Amino acid sequence: MIEIKVRITAFSYKALKDLSREFNLDIVYRTAKEINENKYSVESFIFRKQMEKLKEAGYQIEILKDLTAIPDPRAQVSKINRYHNELDRLKKK
């Protein structure tokens, strides 16, 4: 499962293009921006170990959202079939 949403900043257009080729990242292309002549950014969903590799390669990483902190909505689903129980209760009347 993807762990964090980040903004990745690169210092060349080529380095920005290398994100999908060399690092195989899930990039949100609509978020790609040219900040200035030598600075580009894009948002992506990554794992923590990918973040370390990107930092070692010279990319700046800004964490936008930690997705591990979001609870699983399926954990809140009731295990009881209330419809079935109510139907049985009404049949007994």
Can you spell out the DSSP letters for the chain? Answer: ---EEEEEEESSHHHHHHHHHHS--EEEEEEEEEEETTEEEEEEEE-HHHHHHHHHTT-EEEEEEEGGGSPPGGGGS-SS-HHHHHHHHHHH-
3-state secondary structure of 36: strand
> Which pLDDT tens digit goes with each residue over 48-67?
889 999 999 999 999 999 88
Instruction: Give the containing element (helix H, strand E) for 81.
Output: none
Q: How high is the mean pLDDT in each 10-residue block of the chain (93 residues)? A: 88 86 85 89 91 93 88 75 86 83
- Each domain of the chain, given as residue ranges in start order, spans 4-92
What is the length of the chain?
A: 93
pLDDT of residue 55: 93
pLDDT of residue 67: 86
Fold of 4-92: Alpha-Beta Plaits (3.30.70)
pLDDT of residue 1: 63
Its pTM stands at 0.70
